[in-house]
Amino acid sequence: MKTKKQNRKQLSGGFFQGIVSRENIEAIVIAVVLALFIRTFVVQAFKIPSGSMEPTLLIGDHILVNKFIYGITIPFTEKKILQFKKPSRGDVVVFIFPKDPSKDFIKRVIAVEGDQLAIKDKKIFINAQPINDPYGVYRDPYIIPGRGSEMNRDNFGPVTVPPHALFVMGDNRDKSYDSRFWGYVDLNKVKGKAFLIYWSWGGLFQDMRWNRIGKIIH
């Protein structure tokens, strides 16, 4: 037969177990809510699936994207609030692909609203001036003729970027499916600016790219 003291111990133990259990659940809920908040409004992780941004970004690079720098998107809408700045020329941005909203693309901003852009034999001109293009890589020596075509890799435009839009290109210029082929990116479709490689893996353990981890994206 159990004594009153033993019963009190059991009751006390059950009470503390309930507190611990409740505290654990609350901690998990708070962690989940905080993670969702950070992912939605602050920072989101992405994996690079193609070589269109080589050599800046390689297939298998895992990156972090600053989601609030260009404004916070109201959930279930494309409206932005608290917009600190707009994307600038040279920014590497993640955006919703205009031709398929289920996909996210990553490219570099080449021209912003109001800019006149032209490409002549692989050379980019903004407002009739050749630009310094340190990140663009051209590996195919062949130049596709046809200046003035709207779907030409090496000769394009001139065009004027419309209001509230961006013209973007991949750094791997000869192997990138970008604004030269499908048009402009609406500013409301931009998810954020890529800023850090936090993991890089080629597929096998020996393919770990340790020297890329922690690399700032320019």
Residues annotated as catalytic are 52, 107
Amino acid identity of 90?
G
Kindly tell me the sign of the dihedral angle through the C-alpha atoms of 168, 171, 173, 174.
negative
- By the 8 A CB rule, do 130 and 124 touch? yes
Q: How far is CA 197 from CA 55, 67, 123, 134, 168, in A?
A: 13, 15, 29, 20, 21
**Residue written as tokens 């340790």?**
210
Query: Does residue 15 sit in helix, strand or coil?
Result: helix
3-state percent helix, strand, coil for the chain, nearest multiple of 5: 25, 30, 45
Range list of β-strands (E), the chain: 43-47, 61-66, 72-73, 80-81, 92-96, 104-112, 116-120, 123-126, 129-130, 156-160, 165-169, 185-186, 190-200, 215-216
Strand, coil or helix: 105: strand
